[in-house]
Structure 1
Amino acid sequence: MIKIEDPELLSYIPDYRINLISPYSISDISLDQFHTSLREVILFIKYSKDKNRLRKIVTADPHFLSVDRKAGQVIKILTGSDFEIREEEEKIDMCKALEDLKEEGRQEGWQEGRQDGIRKLILKILAKNQFSYEEIADMTEMSVEEIMEIDRSAAGQQ
Structure 2
Amino acid sequence: MRELFTFLNRRNDGEKLREAVRNDISFSQMDRETAELMSEFASLELPKKNKEGEYDMCKAVEELKEEGREEGRVEMLVSLVKDGLLNIEEAAKRAHMTVTDFEKLVNTSESN
Is the pair's TM-score, using the shorter chain for normalization, greater than 0.5?
yes
Matches within 5 A, 1:7-156: 38-77=1-40, 80-86=41-47, 89=49, 90-121=53-84, 141-142=99-100
Q: Extract unaligned runs of 5+ from structure 1.
A: 1-37, 125-140, 154-158
Whichever of the two has the greater Rg, that structure is: 1
Residue 90 of structure 2 is matched in structure 1 by none
Q: TM-score, normalised on structure 1?
A: 0.46
Q: How large is the Cα RMSD of the aligned pairs?
A: 3.2
CA distance in structure 1 between the partners assigned to 2:83 and 2:12 by the alignment: 34
Tell me how far apart the structure 2 counterparts of residues 56 and 65 of structure 1 sit (CA, whole Å): 13
**CA deviation after TM superposition for structure 1 residue 116, in Å:** 2.0
Count the aligned residue pairs. Answer: 92
Question: What's the offset of the Cα at 1:69?
Answer: 2.5
Percent identity over the alignment is 31
Tell me which protein shows more helix as a share of its residues: 2
Q: Distance in 2 between matches of 1:121 and 1:46?
A: 39
Alignment partners' CA distance in 2, 1:121 and 1:41: 44
**2:95 matched residue in structure 1:** none
